[in-house]
A = this chain, B = another copy of it.
């Protein structure tokens, strides 16, 4: 029932309420209305943040928000099996929440035009609420988070989704957020100029634009129960491929492996791979392969990412101005998903991928997840499999190819290329040991639980559903 309502909201094209054009006009107007400026500053101009004289860790004087510390990682990989790196540590669980409500029988999502200091475009389309615990317990003494009470207090509401999911495990340690969808059963909240009600279909359309729909929106949408009961017949006007995605989402789609078999495969992957995470002082990292200057911490090869500091001025956030550190990837990454039809059902090729900051061992990642430049000096056999295949795929087989942003509250200008490629008919079933073909329905079932799909896999799961 809930599933069908989400499917209805996805099928609803922007019409009476907002067309894509109307939406973009509103969005541009909000962009102009929210004055903001983000400026890089040297570390010694950070206010409230400082490097601990002993450990060299970068922390806020309140003990809240996050810290930048050091991590020693030991794995059983053949290439680069152990290393030290800076890592963002944020043990708090935040809330990413979308409020939904029916208008004229169609579910709408209350979305926010929200500025984050690391955003490429200033504002991006964000969930109703996006708040760390420090944030919503108001450690910084700013104004309260709008609409937060719908997610934290009982009342005239129904919780449709509430699940913890991981985030950016390459640079953040053990981070999880609560992905929530809550339906309001009363008249709903009063209007606010930075918020608007849109259908799921409109958000899906916006996923074809670069850097508009933010990561937090994508991960919350990935947990919607629409995945468990797709219905290919309810998609008039969609392409063959889009209808095949819907069929693969349906519970009737016959998978190559049962979900239990896939879970046993994942257990095997998690148990076989060694991953020892040892938190170490950031000072030790910066005495090794990383360098700390007055303005940034970077790897001596110029690869991976940097730690920087920014000054933020904003008219529309809980605080009007603040400074903070951010993690800035050096280059965009490549996230590629190969999908192929077996026995009439689309399957996505997932890899079990470990990452420095993972909580649970490897999670299911897209077929390819890499920053290509990081592998320039790496022996051929240790480079990411399937990368060249997906990068150089026949354009006629590329179903999705858009630059999307990662989280802008802690990452600076982090954008990745997300690409979905449909394999040629007759593509081989056999895959290397760390890979597994799963239907979209199976991915949706796994998303009812925590820590099965990486945030990038969740994004591609949502993008696949957005293809028309």
Measured CB to CB, the residues of A under 8 A from B are 91-93, 95, 133, 159, 161-164, 178, 260, 263-264, 267-268, 270-271, 274-277, 279, 359-361, 448-451
Contacts and interface: CB of A to CB of B under 8 A. Distances in A.
Contacts of A92: 274
Nearest to A174: B359
Given A178-B271, A271-B95, A359-B359, A264 B450 contact: no
A164 B271 contact: yes
24 contacts: A91-B275, A91-B276, A92-B274, A93-B271, A93-B361, A95-B271, A133-B274, A159-B264, A162-B263, A162-B264, A162-B267, A162-B268, A163-B264, A163-B267, A164-B270, A164-B271, A178-B271, A263-B448, A263-B449, A279-B279, A359-B360, A360-B360, A360-B450, A360-B451
Nearest to A177: B271
A133 B76 CA distance: 13
Nearest to A152: B272
Contacts of A133: 274
Nearest to A137: B274
Contacts of A359: 359-360
Name the residue among A178, A260, A448 with the largest chain B CB count within 10 angstroms: A260
A277 to B, nearest CB: 8
A93 B448 contact: no
Given A91-B276, A279-B279, A360-B359, A267 B164 contact: yes
A361 B361 CA distance: 16
A319 to B, nearest CB: 23
A271 B97 CA distance: 13
Contacts of A267: 162-164, 178, 450
A95 B275 CA distance: 16
A260 B449 CA distance: 10
A15 to B, nearest CB: 32
A-B pairs, 9 with minimum CB distance? A162-B264, A162-B267, A93-B271, A178-B271, A91-B276, A159-B264, A163-B267, A449-B449, A164-B267
A68 to B, nearest CB: 16
Contacts of A450: 267, 360
Contacts of A164: 267, 270-271, 361
Nearest to A275: B91
Contacts of A274: 92, 133
Contacts of A93: 270-271, 361
Contacts of A277: 91
Contacts of A360: 359-360, 450-451
Contacts of A95: 271
A294 B359 CA distance: 36
Nearest to A359: B359
A267 B181 CA distance: 13
A260 B359 CA distance: 23
A359 B178 CA distance: 16
Contacts of A279: 279
Contacts of A271: 93, 95, 164, 178
A359 B174 CA distance: 9
A275 B359 CA distance: 15
A274 B134 CA distance: 12
A215 B36 CA distance: 59
A264 B164 CA distance: 9
A208 B163 CA distance: 38
Nearest to A162: B264
A47 to B, nearest CB: 24
Contacts of A163: 263-264, 267
A433 to B, nearest CB: 10
A275 B277 CA distance: 19
A263 B161 CA distance: 10
Contacts of A161: 264
Nearest to A160: B264
Name the residue among A267, A270, A449 with the largest chain B CB count within 10 angstroms: A267
A284 to B, nearest CB: 14
Nearest to A94: B271
A159 B258 CA distance: 13
Contacts of A260: 448
Contacts of A268: 162
A128 to B, nearest CB: 17
Nearest to A452: B449
Given A178-B271, A267-B450, 20 more contacts: A91-B276, A91-B277, A93-B271, A93-B361, A95-B271, A133-B274, A161-B264, A162-B263, A162-B267, A162-B268, A163-B263, A163-B267, A164-B267, A164-B271, A263-B448, A263-B449, A279-B279, A359-B360, A360-B450, A449-B449
